[in-house]
Amino acid sequence: MNSREEITTPWWRKFDWVLLLCTLALSSFGLVMIYSATSDPGPLTLNPLVIRQFIYLIVGLLFMSIMATVDYRFLLNWKWVIYGLVLFLLTLVFVIGHTAYGSTRWIDLGPFPLQPSELAKLLMVLVLAGYLCEKKRGERDLKRLITSICIIAPPTALVFLQPDLGTSMVLGAAWVSLVLFGGIPVKYLMRLFLLLIPFAVVGGRFLLKPYQIERIAIFLRPEDNPFGSGYNIIQATISVGSGGFWGQGFMSGSQSQLHYLRVQHTDFIASVIGEEFGFIGMMALLVVYGLLLWRIIRIASKARDKYGELIAVGVAAIILFQVFVNIGMNIQLMPVTGIPLPFISYGGSSLVTLLTSEGILQSIILRHKKVNL
């Protein structure tokens, strides 16, 4: 046999089983916590939200399996089609979108309401990674930075206008991580941020909705409006604090079981975890997230090309940013922004998108290298 002939390693040896186990553990734990957060006192009954989330999980695992078998490099050739799809869906929201909680974010597809902004997180990672990995000879870094801004700005603006400040921030975090790992010098980013600070301060007063400005203000002093915009912040802080070190026990939290929190199965599910499982439970959750992120960064380091590396970096940035902001707003370290806790908060679009991204990550690691004889 020729020494240059390549034989691929069996797929099951390349497959990242640790990543899969972390994903399944978080998703399963999410089902348990949604059940606890939405159940009423009395006889045990299976809440419809839990059933729907379980269906979303099965659909997400199906998409993950499909994407793991598809060569991720195939997506590179379709990046501009993907970009057009993102803009189309985000624009369609304003035409036929469903409004809830003061925002128009969902497209009603019957049993599965689609939230395009959640899908846009992954799709924009694919688009930006595809652009940044194809540096043309002699192309200046400043031009690449400006072009990347022109790419990310329209979908971010459409999401912001829904209005959805939280997802806009996630898209921004993904963009920053991708341009940094895409080879754009840090000095250009620093100059850009210094230039944008005055515009952000002045423009924020005109672009932010009144309730968004109030959320930022009430973050510092929630007691100024304890029964209005500061209510959830106060109740979340009480929930986490009442959990202590060991927690009050599963479905035994006084705040969560009496439903003092209004959206405890979505934005404030971390406070339910803190109340029922305490400090030790929150630390265990962060360990699992840390292990998940480590496996994703490992995939980025082993990717056979720049495209695969940037996709993994973008997915890691999205998950890390959402975990940081969601837990931060539950313990009053961050303003309330409506960002879900990855794999755990209730939401079909978020869960399916995250599981699909995990499938792409598996595709990257399955094709990371070949064994030479």
Query: 226-262: per-residue pLDDT in tens?
Result: 777 778 888 888 888 888 999 998 888 878 777 777 7
> Which has more confidence, 134 or 82?
82
- Better pLDDT: 202 or 1: 202
- At residue 39, does pLDDT exceed 50? yes
Q: How many CA atoms lie within 13 A of 54 on its CB side?
A: 10
Write the pLDDT tens digit of every residue in 195-222: 877 766 666 666 666 666 666 767 767 7
- Per-residue burial over 311-343, b if 16 or more Cβ lie within 10 Å, else e, is bbbbbbbbbbbbbebbbebbbbeebbbbbbbbb
φ, ψ of residue 155 to 5 degrees: the values are: -65, -35
For residue 370, the model assigns a pLDDT of 46
Q: How confident is the model at residue 1 (pLDDT cuts 50, 70, 90)?
A: very low
* pLDDT band, residue 193 (cuts 50/70/90): confident
> In percent, how much of the chain has pLDDT > 70?
88
The helix or strand, by DSSP H or E, that contains position 105, with its residue range, turns out to be: strand 103-107
How does the average pLDDT of the chain come out, rounded?
87
pLDDT value, residue 134:
87
- Bridge partner residues of 175 (DSSP): none
Which is nearest to 342 in space by CA: 27, 57, 18? 27
Instruction: Answer yes or no: is pLDDT of 47 > 70.
Output: yes
Please say if the pLDDT value at position 149 is more than 70. yes
Give me the DSSP letters along 72-99.
Answer: GGGGGGGHHHHHHHHHHHHHHHHHHEEE
Q: How high is the pLDDT of residue 371?
A: 34
What is the predicted pLDDT for the residue at 19? 97
Q: How confident is the model at residue 2 (pLDDT cuts 50, 70, 90)?
A: very low
**Sequence letter at residue 372:** N
pTM exceeds 0.75: yes
Split at pLDDT 50, 70, 90, the class of 7 is: very low
Greater pLDDT, 266 or 262: 266
Q: What pLDDT is recorded for position 103?
A: 75
Q: What does the pLDDT average to over 47-68?
A: 95
